[in-house]
Amino acid sequence: MASRDDIKFLSNPKIGQKRTKYCRFRKFGIKYIDYKDPEFLVQFVNEQGKLLPRRITGNSLKYQRKVSAAVKRARHLAILPFVTDLLK
Amino acid sequence: MRHYEVTFIVDPVLSGDEIKTTAQAYVDMLQQEGCTIVHNDEMGLRQLAYPIKKRNSGVYYCVEFSSETGAFIPKVELALSRDERIMRFLTVALDKYGVKYNADKRAGLIGKKPTAKAVATVEGEGVATKKAEPAPKAEPKAAAPAPVQEEE
């Protein structure tokens, strides 16, 4: 009997499966979010410089609060823009 | 012991010496108030994300200090806000993770990925470790704190 690995599917069976979201801070053990690091913070904002929601980034609530505080501090210090177009 | 960090932007129109004396004045002021300066990071001239006082760039300074009380901080902040040479400032209380992060960043640990390769070189002969050592120093410290995958 052929196992599942031997079967060649016409379409990729992984298409349509949901990717499991995870909190990168919990997964990689990041405890502190530096507000002076724009390259890191830019991952949590969209092209207009607005904060991305948790349902997209997958952050846990604890770290989403820290991310939002860090982004707001960076905006105050002109490290990140308040509003813009084509940030990425 | 409380840990703080004050970041401020100095007007870039001033001459190089004036910028340094301005920054040093606040470092001295903090020392007079009886706190110990942990680190004075000159982040240098940077492009601002949006114009402040019709300037498009600024000289960033970040001073990390620790003190028994935080009672003098409003006094320092008042002096910073009255100073026309300072464009922006932000004082932040650091938690224990923030203190550790800053210490690691100075040591050059942030941005370096602890891979199996690095572990192998440590376990290997002395020549391999000698070769591995200069590499982290050459790496710029501005990098993401950990390997992070873009997910959208």
C-alpha to C-alpha distance for A14 and A17, rounded to whole angstroms: 6
Please tell me chain A's helix, strand, coil percentages from 3-state DSSP, rounded to the nearest 5: 35, 0, 60
The pLDDT tens digits for B83-140 are 999 999 999 999 999 999 999 888 887 765 444 444 444 444 444 444 444 444 444 4
Maximum CA pair distance of chain B?
58
Chain B stretch 85-124, residues whose beta carbon is closer than 8 A to a beta carbon of chain A: 88, 90, 92, 95, 97-98, 100-101, 105
- Whether the CB-CB separation of B77 and B92 falls below 8 Å is answered with no
Tell if the CB–CB gap between B143 and A39 is shorter than 8 Å. Answer: yes
Pick from A26, A53, A79, A29: which is nearest to B46 by CA?
A79
Shortest CA distance from B142: residue in chain A: A37
**What residues does each domain of chain B span?**
2-94, 96-127
The pLDDT tens digits for A14-46 are 777 778 889 999 999 999 999 999 999 999 999
Contacts of B50 in chain A (CB under 8 A): 78, 81-82, 84
Pick from A15, A83, A12, A5: which is nearest to A51 by CA?
A83
The pLDDT tens digits for B22-64 are 999 999 999 998 889 999 989 889 999 999 999 999 999 999 9
CATH fold of B2-94: Alpha-Beta Plaits (3.30.70)
What mean pLDDT is predicted for residues B15-21? 89
Q: Is the ipTM of this complex over 0.85?
A: no
Rounded to two decimals, the pTM is 0.73
Contacts of B58 in chain A (CB under 8 A): 78
